[in-house]
């Protein structure tokens, strides 16, 4: 299945000059959504990645992470933006293009040496994914790999990530 046909391009969003890849059209397509999750699971399995947990970043990682965790027989752990989690957290501040942001994870979400994969809808510069990987490293987790539906290859985000398998389903 060619998932590109299920992703809508929206020019000048969120600001002029940006071409936004909208996955809501993929999400509403039952066959496309099933194909996405099944393909991720097959790719992770083929790569020999057997995580204890799938970690998804706010917010689209929350969409794809739980069904992938289910398929892989793993748990799901969310990484949220600052102030969204109710219990004690570990946090990491990271730089975006024009500002900084903070990601958080519950302190009791993962034990040291937990095997994890990180999943999100898109990798652009890799900043959020790298911050998530750094946060998990601080907790003593073993990062097995990453999964992204879309990779914007021109931005070379994978070069900013740790050297582990990176699975992408579509490249632009």
CATH code for position 163 = 3.40.50.2020
Q: Tell me if 30 is assigned to some domain.
A: no
Q: How much is the pLDDT for 95?
A: 86
C-alpha to C-alpha distance for 135 and 91, rounded to whole angstroms: 7
Structurally, the chain folds into a number of domains equal to 1
Q: Tell me if 22 is assigned to some domain.
A: no
Helix (H) or strand (E) holding 21: strand 19-22
Q: How much is the pLDDT for 156?
A: 95
Domain that holds residue 102: 50-171
Residues acting as catalytic residues:
60, 97
Q: Tell me if 23 is assigned to some domain.
A: no
Model's pTM, two decimal places? 0.95
Q: Tell me if 86 is assigned to some domain.
A: yes
pLDDT tens digits, the chain, 172 residues: what are they? 999 999 999 999 999 999 999 999 999 999 999 999 999 999 999 999 999 999 999 999 999 999 999 999 999 999 999 999 999 999 999 987 778 999 999 999 999 999 999 999 999 999 999 999 999 999 999 999 999 999 999 999 999 999 999 999 999 9
SS3 38: helix
Q: How much is the pLDDT for 159?
A: 97
Q: Tell me if 37 is assigned to some domain.
A: no
Q: How much is the pLDDT for 99?
A: 84
C-alpha to C-alpha distance for 75 and 3, rounded to whole angstroms: 26
C-alpha to C-alpha distance for 96 and 108, rounded to whole angstroms: 27
Find all residues with CB under 8 Å of 77, minimum gap 6, and list them. 53, 54, 55, 56, 105, 106, 109, 110, 116
Q: Tell me if 3 is assigned to some domain.
A: no
Q: Tell me if 13 is assigned to some domain.
A: no
Q: How much is the pLDDT for 98?
A: 74
Q: Tell me if 43 is assigned to some domain.
A: no
């Amino acid at each position: 299945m060619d998932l590109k046909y299920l992703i809508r391009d929206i020019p000048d969003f969120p600001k002029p000059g940006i071409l936004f890849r909208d996955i809501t059209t993929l999400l509403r397509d039952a066959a496309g959504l099933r194909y996405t999750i099944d393909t991720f699971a097959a790719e992770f399995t083929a790569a020999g990645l057997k995580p204890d947990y799938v970690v998804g970043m706010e917010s689209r990682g929350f969409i794809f992470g739980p069904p992938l965790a289910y398929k892989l027989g793993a748990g799901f752990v969310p990484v949220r933006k600052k102030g969204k989690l109710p219990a004690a957290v570990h946090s990491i501040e990271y730089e975006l293009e024009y500002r900084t942001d903070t990601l958080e994870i519950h302190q009791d979400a993962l034990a040291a040496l937990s095997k994890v994969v990180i999943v999100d809808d898109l990798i652009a510069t890799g900043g959020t994914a790298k911050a998530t990987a750094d946060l998990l490293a601080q907790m003593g987790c073993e990062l097995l790999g990453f999964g992204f539906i879309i990779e914007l290859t021109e931005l070379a985000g994978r070069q900013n990530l740790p050297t582990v398998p990176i699975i992408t389903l579509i490249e632009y």
